[in-house]
Amino acid sequence: MAKTKDTNQEAQKRSGALGYFLTPILLLALCGGLAVLCYSLAPAHDVQRYLNLAFMDTLKVTSTTSGLNIRHRDIKTDDQNTTEDKPKLQEGKINYPTFGEQYAKLEAKSINLMVGVYYGVNSELLSRGACQSTQSAIFGTVGNHIIDAHVNTFFAELHNLAVGDTVTMYTDYGKFTYEVTEKIEFNKNDKKYVGVTKDDVLTLYTCAPQVIGSSDTRIGVRCALKEKEFYEPLES
């Protein structure tokens, strides 16, 4: 009887130890799963900002694309470059960007969006900000200005832009204000909105949000130029 009692106590001790061992592992797995799920569903660039802070920027990815030269221009987004006394220049000097250069900032106050715009599109630049197609018109010239960004990051709220909202492009040579004229939706094989135009339009697009898999549908907006302001006159 005493021996049976001892065996039972031994068994109980072992099973209790198993619980003590498993519980923290399960807890870790649960927390990790929740963290990955949140990172997957939330705009990743917001999470990335805190990760950079937590890990002292060591998670920032340096350029991995061979030959890609990423540069940033000093772009002011307030009106420091102009004063009320100076007439606003309708024509002016344009500083043309090179591939990989962040040469503009896009602001849409209605959706609390402020993002840097890189000239050129590849996967690495898309992970850093919005990208402008090299086949589109540079801001300050007339044509279709095509900008896209990941729906998982910077353009997560793009679908909330409404007709009439203002989109402002800041560059180091001028400020260009657009107004949303239509919301667009198209298939990735439809090139209607990414071609050359004669009018000055701004096209913003991203993938349609989809939890599982990647969508073939693109959503976005088309905007018409409302106001332009150059900071320096054309060279004579």
- Residues 72 to 91: which contact other proteins by CB under 8 A? none
Q: Give the residue, chosen from 45, 48, 88, 143, that forms a contact with other proteins under the rule CB under 8 A.
A: 143
CA angle 191, 147, 201 (to 5 degrees): 75
Taking the complex as a whole, the smallest distance from the CB of residue 183 to other proteins amounts, in Å, to: 16
Q: How far is it, in rounded angstroms, from Cα 180 to Cα 160?
A: 12
CB atoms closer than 10 angstroms to residue 222: 19
The pair phi, psi for residue 226, each rounded to 5°, is -105, -40
Taking the complex as a whole, the smallest distance from the CB of residue 145 to other proteins amounts, in Å, to: 11
Taking the complex as a whole, the smallest distance from the CB of residue 151 to other proteins amounts, in Å, to: 5
Region binding other proteins by CB under 8 A among candidate stretches 82-90, 144-152, 162-170, 175-183: 144-152
Nearer to other proteins, 71 or 86 (CB): 71
**Rule CB under 8 A: is residue 24 a binding residue for other proteins?**
no
CA of residue 5 relative to chain centroid, distance: 66
**Rule CB under 8 A: is residue 204 a binding residue for other proteins?**
no
Q: How far is it, in rounded angstroms, from Cα 129 to Cα 48?
A: 13
**Rule CB under 8 A: is residue 23 a binding residue for other proteins?**
yes
Task: Scan residues 101-140 and list those touching other proteins (CB under 8 A).
Answer: 120-122, 126, 131, 133-138
CB atoms closer than 10 angstroms to residue 81: 17
**Rule CB under 8 A: is residue 210 a binding residue for other proteins?**
yes
Could you tell me which of 179, 117, 152, 199 has the C-alpha nearest to residue 46? 152
